[in-house]
């Protein structure tokens, strides 16, 4: 019985697929990694069966057939990264610790504000939109740089979450400012401020968890 | 080729069932296994498979591990404990669905 030797793609051929996908705007390393394995597995099967065709011929045929599907798949991959981050937030918000912390923060802030002057409160509120920039700094400038990460979908998509939080905190700041100008209501201000601070902590926790997930799965080391 | 729309709602159950049978699998392997088991009738596209795998991963039903295989990195999917429980539930649901469909498409009506 004739046995068929499986054709395995070389490192250079794998690199060729990687570069091709990167040039086709599939920029995230984790997405490309899974696509490369899928494409390479299919190409290896075709090359093992044909024996006469070269890697480049098979690759060209494969891309003519499937490139559009892969590009469409890229968008789905990005959505999955968003869903992953969202699920982390949901887990945290649903937990009892979140509610307890919210109550604790509210209590601390409410009684602290009572002792502060109106100007000091205004100053605190003025800086609050910058809270989400703290985790941004930690993740991007310290950890990402330390671990020399390539572009990973989940980590980069966190950037959109930071922007969304910045906008939310900004809106809270405007609302609180308005309230302080007209008729200061410490209860209202405390609720908004405690929600802001807690969400800031939540953002740091989720950011670190997302980063740790990528470090663990992709075995990233410093 | 099979009408893929009919299978769409069962994709998650198919994936969970396959992973329950095998310790760990990677994306391409799942597509090939399905093709082989259905004798080429059902072809799962990567556009449908990977989003489903990632959704299951985000829901905590699957865990992943990356290994270097044949000059490249390969992402393997495995069932978590939660995933094992969900597989049983999904299979029950699917069996119930098949049973009901059989009653509907092949009714044994009588005049009594």
ipTM for the whole complex: 0.87
Contact at CB, A14 and B71, closer than 8 angstroms: yes
Among B45, B51, B71, select the one facing A10 at the smallest CB separation.
Answer: B71
Partner-chain contact B50 A36, CB within 8 Å: no
Phi then psi for residue A216, to 5 deg, are -70, -50
Compute the average pLDDT of residues A57-81: 87
pLDDT of residue B37: 93
For residues A153-173, average pLDDT:
82
Please tell me the distance in Å from B52's CA to the nearest CA on chain A.
9
Shortest distance between the Cα of A23 and any Cα of chain B, in A, equals 19
Which residues in chain A touch residue B66, judged by CB atoms under 8 angstroms apart?
33, 217-219
- Cβ of B46 within 8 Å of Cβ of A9? The answer is no
DSSP state of A140: I
Task: Determine, for residues A37 and B50 on separate chains, whether the beta-carbon distance falls below 8 Å.
Answer: no
B44-77, pLDDT tens digit by residue? 888 889 889 988 998 889 999 999 999 999 999 9
CB pairs under 8 A between A and B: 76
Cβ within 8 Å, pair A83-B54:
yes
Are B79 and A104 a contacting pair, CB within 8 Å? no
Please report the pLDDT score of residue B34 as a whole number.
94
Task: Count CA within 13 A, CB hemisphere, residue A198.
Answer: 22
What residues of A are in contact with residue B25 (Cβ under 8 Å)? none
Interface test with A, best of B53, B58, B65, B78 (most A CBs within 10 A): B58
Asked if A84 lies within 8 A of B26 by C-beta distance, the reply is: no
Sequence-separated (6 or more) residues with CB below 8 Å from residue B60: A87, B80, B82, B83
pTM of the model: 0.80
**B5-39: per-residue pLDDT in tens?**
777 788 999 999 999 999 999 999 999 999 999 99
- Residue A111: its pLDDT value, please? 86
Nearest to B58 among A44, A72, A80 (CB): A80
Q: Which of residues 49-78 of B touch A (CB under 8 A)?
A: 50-51, 54-55, 57-60, 64-66, 69-75
Residues of B in Cβ contact (< 8 Å) with A34:
27, 50, 75
A1 — pLDDT class (breaks 50, 70, 90): very low
By Cβ distance, the residue of A77, A86, A217 closest to B50 is A77
**Alpha helices, DSSP H only, in chain A?**
11-23, 29-50, 55-94, 96-113, 118-127, 133-136, 144-146, 153-181, 186-217
Q: Do A84 and B27 touch (CB under 8 A)?
A: no
Query: Within 13 Å and on the Cβ side, how many CA atoms surround A75?
Result: 4
B54 and A80: CB-CB below 8 Å?
Answer: yes
Q: Is B81 helix (H, G, I), strand (E, B) or coil?
A: helix
pLDDT at B19: 97
pLDDT at residue A142 in the model: 64
Q: What is the pLDDT of residue A8?
A: 93
Q: B63: which chain A residues are within 8 Å (Cβ-Cβ)?
A: none
């Amino acid at each position: 019985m004739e046995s068929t030797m499986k054709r395995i793609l070389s490192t250079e051929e794998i690199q060729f697929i990687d570069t091709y996908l990167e040039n086709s705007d599939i920029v995230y390393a984790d997405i490309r990694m899974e696509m490369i394995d899928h494409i390479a597995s299919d190409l290896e099967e075709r090359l093992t069966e044909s024996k006469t065709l070269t890697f480049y011929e098979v690759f060209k045929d494969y891309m003519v057939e499937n490139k559009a599907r892969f590009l469409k798949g890229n968008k789905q991959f990005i959505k999955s990264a968003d869903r992953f981050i969202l699920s982390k937030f949901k887990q945290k918000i649903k937990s009892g610790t979140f509610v307890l912390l919210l109550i604790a923060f509210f209590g601390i802030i409410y009684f602290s504000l009572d002792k502060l002057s109106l100007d000091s409160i205004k100053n605190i509120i003025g800086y609050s939109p910058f809270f989400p920039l703290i985790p941004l700094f930690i993740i991007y400038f310290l950890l990402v740089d330390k671990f020399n990460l390539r572009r990973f979908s989940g980590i980069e998509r966190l950037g959109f979450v930071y922007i969304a939080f910045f906008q939310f905190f900004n809106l809270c700041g405007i609302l609180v400012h308005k309230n302080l100008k007209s008729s200061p209501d410490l209860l209202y201000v405390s609720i908004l401020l405690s929600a802001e601070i807690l969400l800031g902590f939540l953002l740091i926790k989720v950011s670190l968890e997302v980063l740790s997930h990528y470090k663990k799965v992709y075995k990233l080391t410093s | 080729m099979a009408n893929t729309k009919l299978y769409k709602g069962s994709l998650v159950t198919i994936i969970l069932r396959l992973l329950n049978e095998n310790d760990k699998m990677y994306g391409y392997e799942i597509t090939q296994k399905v093709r082989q088991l259905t004798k080429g009738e059902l072809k799962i596209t990567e556009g449908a498979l990977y989003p489903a795998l990632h959704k299951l991963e985000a829901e905590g039903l699957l865990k992943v591990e990356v290994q270097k295989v044949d000059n490249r990195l390969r992402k393997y999917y495995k069932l978590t404990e939660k995933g094992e429980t969900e597989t049983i539930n999904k299979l029950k649901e699917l069996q119930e669905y098949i049973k009901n469909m059989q009653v509907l498409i092949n009714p044994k009506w009588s005049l009594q």
